[in-house]
């Protein structure tokens, strides 16, 4: 797949690296594409990765992943709304301190034909680097549409080393965000550490 990743920090950079290593073609969209740090990081990934502006990454991707600071989400969505329509979009950003942690309503208002998913927001980025716990693979809770978009998103989740657990349509984004709250309560509040993830068990 062609994946546009907005942001090349801990989450965006780690996901983009894993996807490039899995054979996807990744373009990072950042504010300062000529930053020596960003250029050095992308050069390590070889021909599978490139860096450009937010606009070029959105235009490039069949799937566009928002891995930018939560405080920048609304303005970024508004700026690029027209280009997002028709795209598969993954909201991986947490709007900490806002009434709603996810940006589903903003996408619905600004880019109503985008197929929006909520994923990669409910655990620390360290678990994207190492998603295995002994012989167990961490689960990732997500929500969004079905059909071909679901297939694409689940492939990206799997290629990030995680096992996808769908909890419903995008209206279930607050439920995914509750998992985020639980993760922070355990990892930080209960001092269990950031290499912490969840596993669903069924019989």
- Sequence-distant (6+) residues with CB within 8 A of 107 are 77, 84, 89, 91, 114, 116
Looking at residue 33, what is its pLDDT? 87
Looking at residue 120, what is its pLDDT? 98
Mean per-residue pLDDT for 66-84? 98
pLDDT band at 97 (very low <50, low <70, confident <90, very high): very high
Segments making up each domain of the chain, as ranges: 2-189
Distance CA 189, CA 123 (A): 14
CA dihedral 101, 103, 108, 109 (to 10 degrees): 100
pLDDT band at 34 (very low <50, low <70, confident <90, very high): confident
**Is residue 27 within a helix (H) or strand (E), and if so which, with residue range?**
strand 25-29
- What percentage of residues in the chain have a pLDDT greater than 70? 100
CATH topology of domain 2-189: Rossmann fold (3.40.50)
48 has pLDDT over 90? yes
Considering only CA atoms, which of 56, 63, 102, 119 is closest in space to residue 86? 63
Residue 44 DSSP class = T
35 has pLDDT over 90? no
**Is residue 41 within a helix (H) or strand (E), and if so which, with residue range?**
helix 36-43
What is each CA distance from 44 to 16, 21, 139, 201, in whole angstroms?
12, 11, 28, 38
Interval 144-193: pLDDT, tens? 999 999 999 999 999 999 999 999 999 999 999 999 999 999 999 999 99
Mean per-residue pLDDT for 90-107? 97
Looking at residue 195, what is its pLDDT? 94
């Amino acid at each position: 797949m062609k994946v546009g990743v907005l942001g090349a920090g801990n989450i965006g950079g780690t996901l983009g690296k894993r996807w490039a290593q899995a054979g996807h073609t990744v373009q990072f969209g950042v504010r300062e594409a000529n930053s020596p740090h960003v250029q050095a990081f992308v050069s390590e990934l070889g021909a599978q990765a490139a860096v450009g502006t937010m606009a070029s990454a959105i235009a490039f991707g069949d799937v566009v992943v928002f891995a930018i600071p939560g405080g920048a989400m609304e303005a970024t969505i508004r700026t690029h709304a027209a280009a997002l329509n028709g795209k598969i979009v993954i909201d991986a950003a947490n709007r900490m301190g806002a009434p709603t942690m996810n940006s589903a309503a903003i996408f619905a208002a600004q880019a109503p034909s985008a197929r929006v998913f909520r994923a990669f927001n409910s655990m620390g980025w360290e678990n994207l680097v190492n998603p295995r716990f002994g012989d167990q693979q961490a689960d990732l809770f997500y929500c969004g549409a079905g059909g071909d978009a679901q297939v694409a998103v689940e492939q990206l989740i799997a290629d990030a080393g995680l096992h996808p657990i769908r909890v419903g349509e995008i209206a279930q984004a607050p439920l995914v965000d509750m998992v985020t709250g639980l993760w922070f309560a355990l990892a930080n509040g209960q001092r269990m550490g950031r290499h912490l993830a969840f596993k669903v068990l069924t019989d």
